[in-house]
């Protein structure tokens, strides 16, 4: 059983921020900044492709609620919402989860490096993505 499912069942303690019948939000034990929260569905889904759209929409509403709580109650100016989907993308726990990371001025958290497309490359990528 995955560690997040064990947390949902109460077998492993957590610092709970929010809970209802579908979703659990708790502090990340290795936070980027204080208040870094994980928002998970209580039902086990490995990746975003596995969750149905209604459940995902509900999960995102809770992510928004947590973001508002961080801004209003921790007085942070903003936050990042991050989903690492599959191990190659940095997903360490095979249970769908969103990170809600409070941002502090001068916290030195770097965003993704940006690159450029070569001539004609963007058009080829679009063709591959939209192909049935």
What would the pLDDT profile of 4-28 be if each residue is shown by its tens digit? 999 999 999 999 999 999 999 999 9
Q: Are 51 and 96 in contact (CB under 8 A)?
A: yes
Cα separation values, 108 from 34, 58, 62, 90, 111, Å: 14, 32, 27, 20, 9
Catalytic residue positions, numbered: 97
Please give the pLDDT value at position 6: 97
Distance CA 100, CA 93 (A): 16
Condensed to tens digits (0 to 9), the pLDDT of residues 28-38 reads 999 999 999 99
- pTM higher than 0.75 for the full model? yes
Residue 1: pLDDT band with limits 50, 70, 90: confident
- Total domains, the chain: 1
Residue 96: pLDDT band with limits 50, 70, 90: very high
| Domain enclosing residue 108, as ranges | 3-130
Q: Are 49 and 75 in contact (CB under 8 A)?
A: no
- What CATH number does residue 124 fall under? 3.30.428.10
């Amino acid at each position: 059983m995955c560690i997040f499912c064990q947390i949902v069942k109460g077998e492993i303690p957590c610092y709970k921020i929010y809970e209802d019948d579908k979703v659990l939000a708790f502090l990340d034990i290795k936070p980027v900044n204080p208040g870094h929260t994980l928002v998970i569905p209580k039902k086990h889904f490995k990746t975003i492709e596995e969750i149905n759209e209604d459940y995902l929409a509900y999960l995102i509403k809770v992510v928004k609620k947590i973001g508002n709580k961080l801004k209003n109650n921790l007085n942070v100016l903003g936050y990042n919402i991050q989903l690492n989907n599959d191990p190659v993308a940095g997903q360490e726990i095979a249970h769908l989860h969103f990170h809600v990371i409070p941002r502090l001025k001068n916290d030195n958290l770097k965003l993704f490096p940006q690159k450029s497309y070569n001539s004609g490359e963007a058009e080829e990528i679009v063709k591959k993505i939209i192909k049935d």
